[in-house]
């Protein structure tokens, strides 16, 4: 036999636990930035192209991030958004 009050409390406890864990999951997801594009959308590759690479790009954030593209970005990478560092 299921106690309705216990079931409701358990469901509520689980929802509260999930809500409090969400920020931790967001933090552990890495350096993703709001509005940043996924690497596949900009043809990101972890190797240079035509002598151009991320550590020479204006969007690069050392040691391994980018203002415009989400995820880990290799200093030696490249994508279609490359802009010469100012
Ligand atoms: S080339 Fe520039 S815009 Fe593209 S991933 Fe590298 S740092 Fe970011």
Cα(81) to centroid(ligand 1), Å: 6
Count the neighbouring beta carbons within 10 Å of the beta carbon of residue 66: 24
Tens-digit pLDDT profile for residues 11-21: 554 444 444 44
Q: Is 36:70 a contact under the CB 8 Å cutoff?
A: yes
66 lines ligand 1 (CB under 6 A): yes
Name residues of the chain where pLDDT drops below 70.
1-32
Q: What are phi and psi of 61, to 5 degrees?
A: -125, 105
| Maximum Cα–Cα distance across the chain | 70
73 ligand 1 Cβ < 6 A: yes
Span 31-43, pLDDT tens digits: 457 889 999 999 9
36 CB less than 6 Å from ligand 1?
no
Cβ neighbours of residue 23 closer than 8 Å, sequence gap 6 or more:
none
Q: Supply the pTM of this predicted model.
A: 0.66
pLDDT value, residue 27 = 42
Which residue is closest in CA terms to ligand 1's atom 4? 79
């Amino acid at each position: 036999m299921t106690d309705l009050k216990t079931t409701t409390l358990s469901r509520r406890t689980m929802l509260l636990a999930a809500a409090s864990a969400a920020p931790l999951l967001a933090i552990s997801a890495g350096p993703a930035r709001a509005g940043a594009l996924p690497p596949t959308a900009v043809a990101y590759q972890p190797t240079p192209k035509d002598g151009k690479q991320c550590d020479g790009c204006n969007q690069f954030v050392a040691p391994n991030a980018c203002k415009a593209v989400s995820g880990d970005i290799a200093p030696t990478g490249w994508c279609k958004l490359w802009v010469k560092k100012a």
